[in-house]
Structure 1
Amino acid sequence: MVNSQPDWVRWQKALEVEEKNGFVDLIGNQYRFSEFLCLTFGKPPKLLDSEWRKNWQEMASKFAKYPNLPISDRENLVKLAKSFLQASEAECQKVWQRRSNPTEEPETQETLQELPIPNSQLPTPQLEISLDQPLTEVPKLGITKSRHLAKLGLYTVRDLLFYYPRDHIDYSRRVDISQLEAGETVTIVATIKRCECFTSPKNKKLTILEIVLQDRYAKMRLSRFFAGNQYSNRGWQESIKRRYPVGSIIAASGLVKETKYGLTLQDPEMEMLASPGDNIESINIGRVVPVYPLTEGVPADVVRQAVMAVLPATAKIEDPLVRGLRDRYGLIKLPEAINNIHFPTDSDSKEAARRRLVFDEFFYLQLGFLKRRQTLRQTQASAILAPTGQLVEKFYQVLPFKLTGAQQRVINDILNDLQKTTPMNRLVQGDVGAGKTVVAVVAILAAIQAGYQAALMAPTEVLAEQHYRKLVSWFNLLHLPVELLTGSTKTAKRREIHAQLETGELPLLVGTHALIQDKVNFHSLGLVVIDEQHRFGVHQRAKLQQKGAQPHVLTMTATPIPRTLALTLHGDLDVSQIDELPPGRQAINTVALSGRERNQAYDLIRRELVQGRQVYIVLPLVEESEKLDVRAATVEYEKLQESVFPEFKVGLLHGRMTSAEKDQAINDFRENQTQILVATTVIEVGVDVPNATVMLIENAERFGLSQLHQLRGRVGRGTHKSHCLLMSSSTSADSRQRLSVLEQSQDGFFISEMDLRFRGPGQVLGTRQSGLPDFALASLVEDQEVLNLARDAAELVMLQDQHLQNSLLKAELEYRYQKLMGGSILT
């Protein structure tokens, strides 16, 4: 039996295969296509009532005549059958639901009238579409298309409406053939002067459809290619020719391309018209066509047709943004934006729609951040710290240098925070060498003089050791103890530190991830300082904060990030910038070199070494494997020691060395026991040797600009002129352009902005712990102006309605913020 049980997928598949093959009445294993459809419609599903069954019988009689129909009528009948099957499937589901739930009131049945002629549209029962309606219940979609959409994670009408295109192809510009220019996307309307369909003489498996078009002024040739033996059939080729009869009018859209025969349209979309001025019905021709993100097995047209089917539901979308807010920021209404992001009438309407939807993505993220900050500020802090006291004043006296204006400004921001009853949550950004540690020490001393303890956590032992050394030199002058806790700390020392923390006699502990271990318990932790905080995970930072009762939190980074990234990642933090370097800090001479100039680099290094200076030579992580990284560093170390600089002592430092080996290598270099340190990026932060005056970075094109700037900051810390040599093996213009930014600028904030433009936020931050929200449309590179407006709008809303009594806005915030951030708390 062809139709013992409804097999909607199989029937639709048969129609799709026939359509794909040009309506040739394909021959299957048992039946021709027309025979199969005739038998199918001859056995209506038992769930259907008499009116529906009558229409099925009518369809069966139409497919009995299919072999004798012209191609155009076959095409119309197949389209009619596809729509009819979708409507029938929806009707069967309704009947089944009524029978499964007999207690529910029966719905009013809507029946089909007598079937129209094949080239008319099927008058399917009209159902009102709601936003939360499953796509399977949308009449024009049905089960088959809904299965495709489910592969994209789209299950409801709302899901589909908010599934934005990733791009658009603009076919809306209609031009004459004489106006065509290569590289443009256009639509032409012209008369068919000749149509041929033939097998390629060079490739028997390739069939070519060739159409010559003419308008008022010129001619052009269009070609479509069909690969496969099934298209070599002469009957199929003749049927295709009949679809494009000479003298008829055709609309064609595509990308204009130069060929040896002149200009043509690449892979054109074509539609027959009744007259030159006739309306174009296709969703792919003569309009701005949306291009959606797809996955394997999901045709582009399925998504476009599905979106078109549910667009009327935009009328049910309520706009959470009040008119005053929209007018203030020049935004169109949300329903209009949804319509125009999918099928814009022109480029202006598309841009207006995109601007509104990008604004929304940023706005709800910023509103969520501000709401989080408000919640934090409503939490009572255990530590209320006075801004002045003996320790802070004494520290100012023992400092051998004067603070810069920027340092003093940031210290004032911090001290103001510490006087409040709510916990501080501030990020301090400062360029390499800007003096962030001094600023942090003032905050630490404010906590200690108020009777609280402080903790400073750094991501690596090298950096933690560096901080500890600096703090010891200052704290000794203040007669204060400070200890270091890392993975390398001996067991006996570790126990001693734990005991001193619990009694409160140890006011400050510096360390790595070791600080968040369960056995580390503070007596009264009042301040947490996290350096290079982007290198820690969310939970690691939170775990340290939980060591105290709502301690103040100061985070620091020597990797400045642009304001757009800071707002997107740290929108709930107060941000301070140390944007001024201490006086006397020299600019570092930075030069990009090619492999041919290596000897010049070695000559400069040798001159510096002869004068008693020291040199870093850094190698990149060539592969993900740490072993390959070690091998590269080891090979370079041996070559430099044996062949290039045998008269000097060369040291080696890489990430797979033990902590003791790393300490030894750094100490040897610090004490000038080794003059050259060959290292991987483990020295990016934390190694401070004022006598080092040259930084040579191999394969510099493999690094991001911000990372190169960090590495460059290892030199220029003394009184002697320093040099950074960027050795690159790349000949690409992009690499050269990127490295020239470092040659021209020493400003970390400018460099990070350029890095963002060159590489994008994911690469700048690193994908592993970037914490970036998942935006559908917004770009942190292209939409900075909109982000700033959205932040301004969010602050305005919180000022006027801090409890969000606008229930529509509150509900949208909860939905959007959770979706954007995946429910995670960033800081």
Structure 2
Amino acid sequence: MTIDKPDWIRLQKALAIEEEQGFTDLVGRQYRFSEFFTLTFGKFPNDLPSYERRRWQQLATQFSNYPNLGLEDRKNLVLETSNYLYQLEQQEGEAGTRKQGGHGGQGGQGGQGRNIASLSSAAKSKKPNPKSQIVAEVSRTLAPKLDQKLKDLPEIGLRKAEKLARLSLYTVRDLLFYYPRDHIDYARQVSISELEAGETVTIVAAVKSCNCRTSQKNQKLTILELLLRDDTGKIKISRFFAGTRFTSRAWQESLKRRYPVGSIVAACGLVKGTKYGLTLEDPELEVLANPGDTIESLTIGRVVPVYALTEGVGADLVRQAIIAALPTAAHLKDPLPSGLRGKYGLMELKDAIANIHYPSDSDTLQHARRRLVFDEFFYLQLGLLQRQHQAKQIQTSAVLAPRGQLLDKFYEILPFKLTNAQQRVINDILNDLQKPVPMNRLVQGDVGSGKTVVAVVAILAAIESGYQAAFMAPTEVLAEQHYRKLVSWFNLLYLPVELLTGSTKTAKRRQIHAQLETGELPLLVGTHALIQNPVNFHRLGLVVIDEQHRFGVEQRAKLQQKGEQPHVLTMTATPIPRTLALTIHGDLDVSQIDELPPGRQKIQTTVLTSQQRPQAYDLMRREIAQGRQVYVVLPLVEESEKLDLRSATEEHQKLKESVFPDFQVGLLHGRMSSAEKDEAINKFRDNETQILVSTTVVEVGVDVPNATVMLIENAERFGLSQLHQLRGRVGRGAAQSYCLLMSSSRSPDAQQRLKVLEQSQDGFFISEMDMRFRGPGEVLGTRQSGVPDFTLASLVEDEEVLMLARQAAEKVIEIDAALERWYLMKEELKYRYERLMGGAILT
């Protein structure tokens, strides 16, 4: 509904008088001050621009609530409204001047062009308020600037800006890109007979009765009751107002006057069933002049944004602030070229920002979200690919020769034939090593797929070309495991190899340091000890890092700095979902060993309840009787290592004394010394102990082909990827192996997760499912900062958009890696990339 042009002087005079009388909600001849402005802003002026209509309607809502506001809030509303009306008056004057040819001069503003202070003085003969003049000057622009501070916006001011700062919102840009965490769809309008409990809807109906009263049970609670009727039925709805300021008879009567019998009301909310029939829970209400009128409310009949909040920052405050900032969205310049947007069917940025906050309908919301999700993925991929491109401009001193005699000898002594997948990955690596740029390749392979053999081929290629190699593992157990395997091969090739860990004796450590510096030692295996200052290589050409995600960025960089741009090969036995790999390893070349060596049998996996424990013990006895061995694994309790230690010790004691007194039962946990761990592992490896009770220390590095049963206690406390890793400790020999997942949880979600292990042996599929259940950070074993912090995007739900964003980023880098021809894109990348990665980049 629209009206003729407002009488600016009359409106400003009314505001000035209310200010003069101390914001008491003055009673005029026909209306109270608040009712007058509620009616004024309830109808749009004929020439009001469409982008101002939300603000106009917002003021109507605020003035309808004016009687409930405290003195300071009333004062702020009156000042903001006066500034806003002055802004509109100025725009109208400027538009009139332009129509007359632009020569209006000062007279173009007309007699109504006075500032707020002069209007106030006309009413109360006081000196102009310089603060009001400054605010009015700020308000003259059509829209605030992106970098404008929120405290400088008339609609927000200092007090509200301080509250918004609790959400890290300081500028207009912060507000525009503060996306809703959800939306409530009130856009569906239905008749009363169509209402169904659980749905969120809007109805338009006539008021048949209205009652406003104080609750008999709670004297501080006011209840508004409306009986609404349309052509199909009737419904009773209620709103509740808590607080003594709502209990005055005058306020209750004023509320009743808003909803007179016969008036048309739009109401929206969640349909809820009660013993009295259906109703709307905490409904939003708007009075319409006629049944067919357009609903102008910011909530009723719309898709309403729901923002993440914090204590002291309410939903209304954030929505009002967003509305104040939204006019700026129309002036956003889109960094993505129109051709790229057209190719991938992307909404323009300014439209996406406007519609992610206040979409016209659900379809528009989805298009807006898709564009903004694309942006989050695109700039991350662009940054990763740009970094990869820059890395490939660096020259390495280690350009290795093609395959030689050392590799031929190694293939001869191998007791097995390489799989096609291993050979494919080896070819990738050897091709990289012959290039003048440093290799930066990640090899993913399931448990037991043969990654170590692939790494040895790369190491031997480096040694044959006159370079040294370093092999770093995250734990002593795993480093020692690799060392033993490498020694068995290197002895046959007459090559020395040493192990350096925190447990290495001082004399041996000094010997290793000396041999490294002279070049006598071609390969050093170790833990973090490799990156210490005394470790200096003569000619480091290759760095191999196993389970690389367990090392920090700086730790990996320090090892690389031991040589002159050495080649880097990283490995992981934790299969990473494709979307997660692209996100955290997007700057690496990735190879997958997706094939197990022949002869490996499927590990029979079963989920058991505590009542089925006797059957598990029977299986363990049968396997031990045939000369096999058994693992019993207990969960690591992060909150208390002592609790973890006690549980492992108690379980060990129970199995040793009560359940399996005829067998030797060993114990392994993280708080043992290195010597104690070695002793426990060696006894199990030599079959001196038949059962090894362990915490997750056994997850990597313990390779005992004779072990055929793994019993995992409280399996629901592990992630699927970790369970798959643990399961990989058995099934390494020719005999049939078993994994028993013992769970006391009755949760359907927990049972569903564990059933995935029963159904699949595919580590990549399991990791995908793990990410769906637990999120990307947990899949890697820790909640680490290497996973980017997306605002809208989901690695689970938005895989298709991620792939398109990667494709688009590759094309852009191919055309112009420096982004010189796309200045806006370059600036946006600079702003977003560091922000998205939180300053910590995993690879």
Instruction: Report the TM-score when normalising by structure 2.
Output: 0.86
Matches within 5 A, 1:291-370: 291-370=306-385
Question: For residues 202 and 638 of structure 1, what CA distance do their matches in structure 2 show?
Answer: 62
1:419 positional shift: 0.5
Q: CA deviation at 1:823?
A: 3.4
Instruction: Kindly provide the CA deviation profile for residues 67-109 of structure 1, in whole angstroms up to 9, marking residues without a partner as x.
Output: 57557448638758644313678999xxxxxxxxxxxxx9x99
Aligned-residue offset at 1:225: 2.7
Deviation digits for residues 301-336 of structure 1 (CA, Å, limit 9, x no counterpart):
111111112212112211111111111111111111
- State the distance in 2 between where 1:123 and 1:526 align: 67
Amino acid at match of 2:168: G
* Residue 814 (str. 1) matches residue 814 (str. 2): no
In the TM superposition, 1:489-638 aligns within 5 A as: 489-638=504-653
Structure 1 position 418, deviation (Å): 0.3
What is residue 141 of structure 2 aligned with on the other side? 127
Q: Does 1:85 align with 2:79?
A: yes
Q: Deviations over 1:33-81 (max 9, x none)?
A: xxxxxxxxxxxxxxxxxx9999634642595672575574486387586
**Alpha-carbon separation, structure 1, partners of 2:778 and 2:537:** 37
**Corresponding position of 1:56:** 16
Distance 1:63 1:516 in 2: 70
Deviation by residue 1:575-617 (Cα, 9 ceiling, x = unmatched):
0000000000110000000111111111111111111111000
Secondary structure at the aligned position of 1:151 is classed as helix
Structure 1 residue aligned with 2:26: 66
Mark the CA change 1:493 to 1:63 in structure 2 (over 3 Å): closer, same or farther: closer
Residue type of the alignment partner of 2:141:
L
Q: Which residue of 2 aligns with 1:697?
A: 712
Call closer, same or farther: CA 1:594–1:54 in 2, change over 3 Å.
closer
Matched, 1:660 2:675: yes
Partner of 2:100 in structure 1?
A: none
Out of 772, 786, 791, the residue aligned to residue 806 of structure 2 is 791
CA distance in structure 1 between the aligned counterparts of 2:384 and 2:840, rounded to whole angstroms: 12
8 Å CA contact 1:341–1:353 kept in 2: the answer is yes
From 419, 437, 454, the equivalent of 1:439 is 454
Given the alignment of the two structures, is residue 482 of structure 1 paired with residue 497 of structure 2, yes or no? Answer: yes
Q: CA RMSD in A?
A: 2.5
In structure 2, the residue matched to 1:461 is 476
Contact 2:630 / 2:709 at 8 angstroms: preserved in 1? yes
Q: Distance in 2 between matches of 1:435 and 1:766?
A: 22
- SS in structure 2 of the partner of residue 527 of structure 1: strand
1:90-101 paired onto structure 2 within 5 Å:
none
Q: Residue in 1 aligned with 2:407?
A: 392
| Partner of residue 38, structure 1 | none
Task: String of CA shifts for 1:717-769, please: whole Å, max 9, x gaps.
Answer: 11111000000011111111111110010000000011111111122124443
Q: In structure 2, what is the Cα distance between the partners aligned to 1:712 and 1:252? A: 57
Counterparts of 1:66 and 1:618, CA distance in 2: 76
Q: Within 2, Cα distance between the matches of 1:320 and 1:636?
A: 61
Please point out which of 735, 745, 749 is paired with 1:720.
735
More deviation, 591-600/215-224: 215-224
Between 266-275 and 471-480, report the one with greater CA deviation: 266-275
SS at 1:222's partner residue? strand
For the structure 1 residues 229 and 78, does the alpha-carbon distance in structure 2 shift closer, same or farther, using more than 3 Å as the test?
Answer: closer
Helix, strand or coil at the partner of 1:509: strand
Contact 1:655–1:682 (8 Å) recurs in 2: yes
* Residue deviations 1:397-456 (CA, integer Å, cap 9, x gap): 110000000000000000000000000000000000000000000000001001110011
| Distance in 1 of aligned mates of 2:395 and 2:784 | 30
* 1:748 aligned residue: 763
> Aligned in 2, Cα 1:692/1:505: closer, same or farther, shift over 3 Å?
same
Give, in angstroms, the shift of residue 230 of structure 1. Answer: 5.3
Distance 1:733 1:588, change over 3 A: same
Give the Å deviation of 1:140: 2.2
Contact 1:283 1:304 (C-alpha < 8 Å) held by counterparts = no
The AA in structure 2 aligned to 1:60 is: E
Aligned length in residues: 759
* 2:232 aligned counterpart, secondary structure: coil
In 2, Cα distance between equivalents of 1:58 and 1:197:
27
SS state at 1:385 partner: coil
Task: Between 513-522 and 398-407, report the one with greater CA deviation.
Answer: 513-522
Paired residue type of 1:66: L
Which of the numbers 247, 257, 260 marks the counterpart of 2:262? 247
Q: What is the CA–CA distance in structure 2 between the aligned matches of 1:315 and 1:665, rounded to whole Å?
A: 68
- Give the letter for the 1:721 counterpart: Q
CA distance in 1, matches of 2:203, 2:608: 52
Cα distance in structure 2, aligned partners of 1:130 and 1:65: 34
Q: Does the aligned pair in 2 maintain the 1:87–1:142 contact within 8 Å?
A: no
**Alpha carbons of 1:91 and 1:191: their partners in 2 closer, same or farther (altered >3 Å)?**
closer
2:812 partner letter: V
The question of 1:111 aligning with 2:115 is answered yes
8 Å CA contact 1:90–1:142 kept in 2: the answer is no
Could you tell me which of 794, 805, 809 is aligned with 1:779?
794
Deviation at 1:138, TM superposition (A): 2.2
- Give, in whole Å, the separation in 1 of the partners of 2:114 and 2:501: 75
Residue 819 of structure 1: how far off its partner (Å): 1.1
Counterpart Cα distance in 2 of 1:615 and 1:62:
83
Tell me how far 1:159 sits from its aligned partner. 1.5
Q: Distance in 1 between matches of 2:275 and 2:544?
A: 68
Q: 1:91 to 1:662 in 2, by over 3 A?
A: farther
Residue 475 of structure 1 deviates from its aligned partner by 0.3
Give the 3 Å change call, closer, same or farther, for CA 454–63 of structure 1 in structure 2.
Answer: closer
Find the aligned partners of 2:701 and 2:181 in 1 and give their Cα distance: 42
Out of 396-405 and 108-117, give the one that drifted further: 108-117
CA deviation string 1:163-190 (max 9, x = no partner): 1111111111111111112221111111
Unaligned runs of at least 5 residues, structure 2: 1-10, 39-62, 67-73, 87-105, 124-134
Cα offsets for 1:756-802 (capped at 9, x unmatched): 11111122124443501111111001001100100000001111122
CA change 1:215–1:90 in 2 (3 A) is closer
Distance 1:64 1:371, change over 3 A: closer
Q: TM-score, normalised by structure 1?
A: 0.88
Equivalent residues of 1:135, 1:157 under 8 A apart: yes
Distance across 2 between alignment mates of 1:289 and 1:54: 33
CA apart distance, 1:622: 3.4
Q: 1:629 to 1:452 in 2, by over 3 A?
A: same
Q: 1:754 to 1:110 in 2, by over 3 A?
A: farther
Aligned pairs (5 A) from 1:141-290: 141-228=156-243, 231-290=246-305
Q: Which amino acid counterpart does residue 269 of structure 1 have in structure 2? A: E
Aligned-partner Cα distance in 1 for 2:677–2:614: 30
Alignment deviations for residues 631-683 of structure 1 (CA, whole Å, 9 cap, x no partner): 11111111111111111111111111111111111011111111100000011
Aligned to 1:16: none
> Given the superposition, is the C-alpha separation of residues 90 and 240 from structure 1 closer, same or farther in structure 2, using an over 3 Å criterion?
closer
1:169 touches 1:291 (CA, 8 Å); kept in 2?
Answer: yes
Listed as ranges, the gaps of 5+ residues in structure 1 are 1-50, 93-105
CA contact (8 A) 2:478 2:702 kept: yes
What amino acid sits opposite 1:613 in the alignment?
R
Contact 2:786–2:841 (CA<8 Å) still a contact in 1? no
